[in-house]
Structure 1
């Protein structure tokens, strides 16, 4: 339904060909924690799968964390063999480790004695125990292989869980779009709504897939590595933990600054999409009026806004990773220096220090990963919030349960004391009464902004009346389901709407089950509306595939298709809103004849500016400023010399020229 003419609805951002999305509300500060918790709530149906993948993550991390300790043991085996060979040069064969330590202390070499004592069994003269080394390395291979398998299972399960969640989110958005009122759509730029449904949901899916598994693994890795670090040396563990508070504070500070920039980035993207969508829809008008330069300038301005917001958000959040890298290197230096001193004093083995250095890397790496993922996470949460804003939009009044069903289906429509306004401060329709008896044609005329199309909006329940009621066969339309109400009404608008598909598919679209219309009835309707002759001239006839807007057809041919589609639906009530405005004069005569035949037995509402098309209407209703100022048939209204006569004269009287206006 097109918006009511003139006084249609609150101004729409980017509502015209050159709108460009201007007037969109400024993005509010993002509720990061709240939106993150809400998205986590959408994953509740996947909790069983999440539990399994978490278990896989625990197993993978546990095995990964065990790896460095095993490799440290391998280092000890190699180092013990090297030291044993060196001692074999100065000590007799068969000397035990304790005897070698005692000999070194007796020689005054306490440092080497302490190192040898911390190494365990070292046999002077014996080299590397290759059998023991092979066992240790074989264990390490099995451990890392197991970590890989469990990690792969975790990643796969995470992908499935995320995609199921995003699919449900798309389903929720699709269902929501059918529940939001027309008033909400009128106030939003179409491109921005499309951006929320497509770009933002895709961004949520991509972000969740890339970050969630890594976040789970990172947390588990930090816990596991920390436990191993304290097991090896609590002193070195405390040294490694010194940089953690600095990392957390730094990440929070940077994230706080970059968070609003991600909100601005996606809001700017929505405005850019709105502009592109409008320029594509109205590209013919843009060229006709020579506004290509203005359109390009608007695009450049919006594109620059996207660039600036993206650059700022990425730059600010991008400083996290190098900052964390600096702290990680600082931590590495501290661990290496202090660990070396403890090896020299015999308090740690060289293999334990090697393992600890690996653990220190493993400890800082997940922290760095989490920090580097903050930009992705913030971007995804910003998109999730925009989707949630759409899901939280006001909904139309729910259908009654149980709903009433009219006892008879004659098509009698009555407006009883109806009042309505788009803006509470500016009343539009007040205390309107109108009755359309079954089978009669009611023409609604009046100047732009009089409220003509608004009446149809109210009849279809695209908007709800503020006061009074509208009845269909004696039943208040609010007591019917919208589907039951609209299934009895066929509508043809001034703006034609065709979808990508064949001509026959477009024509059968108005029928609840298009296959129920047999070929004879189908052709009868297309012939009566003058569709059949021009379709027969097309190479593929009714199988001709139309693009999204039926651009291969003329405006008049597209309008004829929409008229035929309404007739095929065989409704009780017909609504024709300037339905013949795009039809040439000859075709208009044919369509009028067809409508006269097909309106038989149906209640019809005809909104027309061209008064020649409604002369034969049973009742002509003249509206001004939301009120009915006159009603009657064509002849009586002309005879009355009121508002209708003035409208008629303004259309058919000869225009006054400048020569006529100046007396000689």
Structure 2
């Protein structure tokens, strides 16, 4: 805000919101403040009308003094409950509005659990059969007709221009979304037939947007994998060592028990990324998804973490999303996505020889790096 001189603009936005809030508050205060005076005025008006009618009837000998007095007393006794009744309106309206929001949330469909089949530890064979996906009412499908088979232990890199569907494709594996067409199989079983919890136990995910919690280093590494809140400290230390974080953690005030703050604010960007990698190492899942996992690292840290990742990938089915093509040259296979479709597949050397989309992307990056 300061760099772009946006103080006046932001103050204007704040003033607009504050003015709107003030107007709403004033309307509520006026409505609430008028309740009792209006009720008292109407009650007094009704009482005066009744007294007038009673007086007319008394003059015509149509009522007695006792009857008149009893009627007036009954009217006076009604005024107090009537005031309390009008006081209910405001909190009742707020309660109804809150209830509508709560029930709207309750009525949201729960995440589908589907089948309850358990795999134990998966071999890691993935098959995408004519997979398609469309976000809501979007005019263009994010994925269309994806045919891809990944063997157990194979490292498959997904590359392509921005918006080609790479992240959408890997998000279908842990079922953050379900395909709108086709199906995905794990070890020959459709994902919809598996227990959702068991499926996600098979997957470790490291993205470029690291999510850490306001907790200790050890709790973040062992997140979700600890049994009855018991953390295997030896296993945590091994994961941190593999992610080249041992020295960093030793330098923290309380070591493994140091609280790292909201989303790891006490750590640098590279340290946060490596802590997320340590979490994946701790989980030890048979399927590994890396979404530009070394993007926040400097050259030295990237070299160290790349070595750790190569060790981690051994014996695991790995899907790697990469924008820097130099990081995936040694992948077993590279699938190039373009406009939601698999445009070409092959090894780094094969795709360069084919002189297609991958070769074009590689030339652009090579020229940029040379420049």
Instruction: Please report the TM-score for the alignment, with normalisation by the length of structure 1.
Output: 0.51
Cα separation, partners in 2 of 1:622 and 1:411, compared to 1, 3 Å: same
Number of corresponding residues = 366
Aligned with 2:264: secondary structure?
coil
What is the RMSD computed on CA atoms of the aligned residues? 2.7
Contact 1:510 1:568 in 2 (8 A): no
Structure 1 unaligned regions, length at least 5:
1-285, 658-664
Match of 1:420 in 2: 133
Match of 1:404 in 2: 117
CA distance in 1, matches of 2:73, 2:129: 81
Match of 2:315 in 1: 601
Cα separation, partners in 2 of 1:632 and 1:288, compared to 1, 3 Å: farther
Cα separation, partners in 2 of 1:517 and 1:551, compared to 1, 3 Å: closer
2:98 corresponds to 1:389: no
CA distance in 2, matches of 1:453, 1:583: 20
Structure 2 unaligned regions, length at least 5:
none
CA distance in 1, matches of 2:75, 2:31: 27
Match of 2:75 in 1: 360
Match of 1:527 in 2: 241
Match of 1:281 in 2: none
Contact 1:559 1:582 in 2 (8 A): yes
CA distance in 1, matches of 2:105, 2:3: 35
Contact 2:142 2:168 in 1 (8 A): no
Aligned with 1:545: secondary structure?
coil
Deviations 1:474-504 (A, max 9, x none): 1000111221111111111111111111111
Match of 2:35 in 1: 320
Give the greater-gyration-radius structure (CA).
Answer: 1
CA distance in 1, matches of 2:194, 2:273: 30
Match of 1:181 in 2: none
Q: Quick check: which one's strand share is greater?
A: 2
Contact 2:156 2:318 in 1 (8 A): yes
2:163 corresponds to 1:449: yes
Contact 2:36 2:83 in 1 (8 A): yes
Contact 1:412 1:474 in 2 (8 A): yes
- How far 1:308 sits from its partner (Å)? 2.4
Match of 1:460 in 2: 174
CA distance in 2, matches of 1:543, 1:307: 46
CA distance in 1, matches of 2:370, 2:310: 35
Cα separation, partners in 2 of 1:512 and 1:461, compared to 1, 3 Å: farther
- Range with bigger deviation, 386-395 or 585-594: 386-395
CA distance in 1, matches of 2:286, 2:228: 17
CA distance in 1, matches of 2:10, 2:256: 37
Contact 2:291 2:321 in 1 (8 A): yes
CA distance in 2, matches of 1:629, 1:550: 38
- How far 1:578 sits from its partner (Å)? 1.2
- How far 1:532 sits from its partner (Å)? 1.5
Cα separation, partners in 2 of 1:288 and 1:479, compared to 1, 3 Å: farther
Cα separation, partners in 2 of 1:537 and 1:609, compared to 1, 3 Å: same
Contact 2:124 2:317 in 1 (8 A): yes
2:246 corresponds to 1:494: no
Aligned with 1:295: secondary structure?
helix
Contact 1:318 1:372 in 2 (8 A): no
Match of 1:477 in 2: 191
- How far 1:310 sits from its partner (Å)? 3.4
Contact 1:621 1:631 in 2 (8 A): yes
Match of 1:541 in 2: 255
Instruction: Please report the TM-score for the alignment, with normalisation by the length of structure 2.
Output: 0.89
CA distance in 2, matches of 1:377, 1:288: 47
Match of 1:116 in 2: none
Match of 1:299 in 2: 14
Match of 1:87 in 2: none
- How far 1:349 sits from its partner (Å)? 5.3
- How far 1:579 sits from its partner (Å)? 1.1
Aligned to 2:348, which of 616, 634, 656? 634
Deviations 1:371-429 (A, max 9, x none): 23212222221222122222233444x3225x223487201111011111113531222
Contact 1:406 1:474 in 2 (8 A): no
- How far 1:640 sits from its partner (Å)? 2.2
Q: Quick check: which one's helix share is greater?
A: 1
